[in-house]
């Protein structure tokens, strides 16, 4: 998998999601932005879907075998924070909920982040662990 191309695709989706979230449904640009976002997500799935699904399946097998693997775009967060060094992070509430026997009673979630492309496991509100990085 081409990590640079994966990163660029993720950044483009994130950019469009943030633009869409910043405007109201009544904005005349809303429909065009939404359509562009869906096209980007479709392109992402066509180009990186199989590889990301394999990575997610491996993660699920190791960490949360009782949870179903969803399509990769489901794991892209709704909101990202961008740090001073252009490093992306997410709140611990972001991601797809997964069941983990090792952490009963905690909200555990998987989320995809860019720069570098990686999958992070949010373990409640106190810990985030990188469980996969694109190579």
Report the alpha-carbon distance of residue 53 to residue 61 in Å, rounded.
12
pTM, 2 dp: 0.93
Q: Which secondary structure element, helix H or strand E, spans residue 80, and what is its range?
A: none
Tens digits of residue pLDDT in 32-76: 999 999 999 999 999 999 999 999 999 999 999 999 999 999 999
Tens digits of residue pLDDT in 90-117: 999 999 999 998 888 889 999 999 999 9
Residue ranges of domains in the chain: 3-133
């Amino acid at each position: 998998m081409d990590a640079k191309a994966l990163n660029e695709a993720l950044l483009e989706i994130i950019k469009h999601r943030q633009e869409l979230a910043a405007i109201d449904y009544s904005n005349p640009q809303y429909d065009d932005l939404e359509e562009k976002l869906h096209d980007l997500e479709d392109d992402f799935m066509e180009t990186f879907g199989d590889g990301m699904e394999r990575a997610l399946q491996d993660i699920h097998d190791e960490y949360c075998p009782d949870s179903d693997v969803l399509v990769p775009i489901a794991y892209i967060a709704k909101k990202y924070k961008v740090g001073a060094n252009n490093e992306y992070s997410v709140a611990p509430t972001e991601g797809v909920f997964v069941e983990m026997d090792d952490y009963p009673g905690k909200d555990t979630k998987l989320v995809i982040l860019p720069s570098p492309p990686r999958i992070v496991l949010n373990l409640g509100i106190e810990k985030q662990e990188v469980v996969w990085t694109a190579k």
